[in-house]
């Protein structure tokens, strides 16, 4: 252990670098073996869905081994070439996927165009039937005249749903000029009397109970 102010000897640095170089070479050798397997798998694949999991796992393993080797010994020979080979295989795989999807996309486009043409043709064949139906006399399809009973029931107004007491309370509140007139009490009333009259008036003028059109304004 070397404390502050004590430089690490040069031979220790050399030993550490050599150990890192050996570990980086091991990682590179593993990556190269996986690259060979990946190359064979990419060249043998004939469709976009063949061995997708295997190819993805091999590519990921190669990338991890190359990254580890670069961290351990960046100047290791063969790292740039292996990385470039990995990128080439990935591009080759993507190109094969596009080539495999091209016939399927072409077939989907042809089927969609055929379905659209068939639907347009069927709509054109249905047009004469619509014109023939429109040429029929309109007297048969015209609705019957409304009966006198229905017209009289629609014309008769509904009876009001509020009582005379509801109307009197609402009108008195709306015409009041001060709070005493609103409550309908004298100015000398006690607090208990005011509270009692207020609760009674609030229930009487509540819009849920009082159906007068101006009940809500009076309640406010």
Q: What is the pLDDT along the chain (220 residues), one digit of tens a residue?
A: 445 555 555 445 555 567 888 898 999 999 999 999 888 888 887 654 556 788 888 889 999 999 999 999 888 888 899 999 999 988 888 888 787 777 777 777 777 776 766 666 666 656 554 444 444 545 445 556 555 544 544 555 566 677 888 788 888 888 877 878 877 878 778 888 888 888 887 887 787 777 788 878 877 7
DSSP state of 206: -
In the structure encoding, which two tokens stand for residue 189, read together?
Answer: 């009333």
**144-174: pLDDT as tens digits:** 655 554 454 455 556 667 788 878 888 888 8
Q: Under 8 Å CB-to-CB from 2, ≥6 apart: which residues?
A: 8
Which pLDDT does position 130 carry in this prediction?
47
Which pLDDT does position 164 carry in this prediction?
82
Q: Under 8 Å CB-to-CB from 100, ≥6 apart: which residues?
A: 46, 47, 48
198: phi then psi, degrees, rounded to nearest 5: -65, -45
Q: Which stretches of 135-178 are DSSP H helices?
A: 148-155, 164-175
Which pLDDT does position 1 carry in this prediction?
46
Which pLDDT does position 29 carry in this prediction?
92
CA atoms of 23 and 15, how far apart (whole Å): 13
Does the global pTM surpass 0.95?
Answer: no
Which pLDDT does position 140 carry in this prediction?
46
CA atoms of 216 and 170, how far apart (whole Å): 9
**165-201: pLDDT as tens digits:** 878 888 888 887 787 887 787 877 888 888 888 888 7
CA atoms of 216 and 220, how far apart (whole Å): 6
Q: Would you give the distance in Å from CA 4 to the centre of its chain?
A: 58
Which pLDDT does position 8 carry in this prediction?
52
């Amino acid at each position: 252990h070397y404390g502050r102010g004590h430089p690490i000897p040069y031979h220790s640095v050399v030993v550490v670098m050599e150990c890192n170089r050996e570990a980086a070479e091991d990682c590179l050798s593993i990556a190269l073996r996986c690259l060979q397997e990946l190359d064979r798998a990419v060249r043998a694949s004939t469709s976009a869905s063949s061995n997708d999991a295997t190819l993805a796992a091999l590519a990921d393993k190669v990338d991890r081994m190359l990254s580890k080797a670069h961290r351990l010994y960046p100047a290791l020979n063969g790292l740039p070439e292996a990385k470039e080979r990995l990128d080439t295989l990935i591009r080759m795989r993507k190109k094969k996927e596009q080539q495999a999807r091209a016939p399927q996309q072409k077939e989907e486009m042809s089927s969609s165009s055929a379905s659209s043409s068939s639907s347009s043709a069927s709509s054109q064949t249905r047009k004469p039937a619509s014109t023939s139906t429109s040429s029929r006399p309109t007297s048969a399809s015209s609705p019957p005249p409304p009966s006198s009973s229905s017209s009289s029931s629609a014309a008769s107004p509904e009876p009001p749903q509020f009582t005379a007491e509801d109307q009197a309370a609402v009108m008195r509140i709306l015409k009041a000029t001060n709070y005493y007139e609103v409550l309908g009490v004298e100015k000398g009333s006690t607090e208990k009397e005011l509270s009692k009259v207020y609760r009674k008036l609030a229930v009487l003028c509540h819009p849920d109970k009082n159906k007068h059109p101006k009940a809500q304004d009076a309640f406010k």
